[in-house]
Structure 1
Amino acid sequence: MVILITGASHTGKTLLARRLVRKYGCSCLSMDLLKMGLIRSGNTHLTPEDDQELEACLWPIVREIIKTAVENRQDLIVEGCYVPARWRWDFPPAYLREIRFYCLVMTPAYVEAHFSDIQKYACVVERRLDDSACTQEALLADNAHYQEMCRTWGYPCILIDRSYHVELPE
């Protein structure tokens, strides 16, 4: 089975993936690590701020990794924000039965009430060298985008509202 975790920046995708790896002992693919590997190796001219272009560059690679994992019956967690809204269209029904999709979204009330905590825990799993783009306004806009994507496409959305407690449905 493949677990695909996406959502806005700072919602805890990497933290959730780490917890699931420890719980289930499966492999994990971080789309951020793949992104930085491509950028730092010189295999792309893109920068970490080129989100739309990075999605177009990364998704075909990640999509084929997911297909390979399904075909080889490998358990895999894929986490990152570079998952296109139309991701389901890239897989036939037999593959979709083996993929679980989750999107983490913080509500506006949570972001406003806990912004200092969000900043404080930004490096709990990965050390962010420059987190200056993490503003309350950016988080509100990013989370609104992902919530609208879930609503539009009918995807499951794990809302982070009053407290930060994220569990996947069984």
Structure 2
Amino acid sequence: MIILITGASHTGKTVLAQKLLEKYKYPYLSIDHLKMGLIRSGNTELTPCDDKELTGYLWPIVSEIIKTAIENKQNLIVEGCYVPEDWRTWFGEEYLSEIKFICLVMTDEYIDEHFADIVKHGSDIEARLDDSDCTVRWIKEVNSEYIGRFQQDQIVIDKDYESAINSILNND
């Protein structure tokens, strides 16, 4: 089984991946780690700010990693924001039946009411060196993009983050 987690920045993708790792003992691949490895090694001239270009660069690699894991009957959690909205077209039915897709999104109301908590928990799993671009407006904009792009399989965080995450953990 592959668990593919995407969503806007600060929605808790990495926290969810960590909790799923602890529950199932499945390894997980952070697309951000792959991105930084390719950038730091000089294998791309893209920068961490080139989000749209990074999706096109990283997704062909990530999709083949997913296929390889499925072909080898290995479980894997893959998390990151670099998943294109047409991700399903990259896989045949024999692969799709082995992929559980989760897109985490937050409502505007949740962001308004919990912005301080969102920022406070931004480095729970991975250290964010510079979070100065994290504003209420920016978080709403990126969440809106994901709400529009991934209308299927969304987990909407609208009242309580822990309840939303626990609903995933209890339904797996």
Question: Shorter chain as normaliser: what TM range?
Answer: over 0.9
Residue in 2 that maps onto 1:71: 71
Structure 1 residue ranges without an equivalent (≥5): none
Residue in 2 that maps onto 1:32: 32
Residue in 2 that maps onto 1:108: 108
What is the 5 A alignment of 1:74-93?
Answer: 74-93=74-93
How high is the sequence identity, in percent, across the aligned residues?
57
Structure 2 residue ranges without an equivalent (≥5): none
Per-residue displacement from partner, 1:24-75 (whole Å, max 9, x unpaired)? 1111000000011011111111111100000011000000000000000000
Q: How many residues align?
A: 167
Per-residue displacement from partner, 1:88-128 (whole Å, max 9, x unpaired)? 00000011000000000010000011111111111111111
Partner amino acid, structure 2, of 1:44: T
Give the TM-score taking structure 1 as reference length. 0.96
Give the TM-score taking structure 2 as reference length. 0.95
Matched, 1:158 2:131: no
Determine the C-alpha separation between the residues in 2 that align with 1:133 and 1:36.
19
Determine the C-alpha separation between the residues in 2 that align with 1:69 and 1:29.
11
- SS of 1:64's equivalent? helix
- SS of 1:11's equivalent? coil
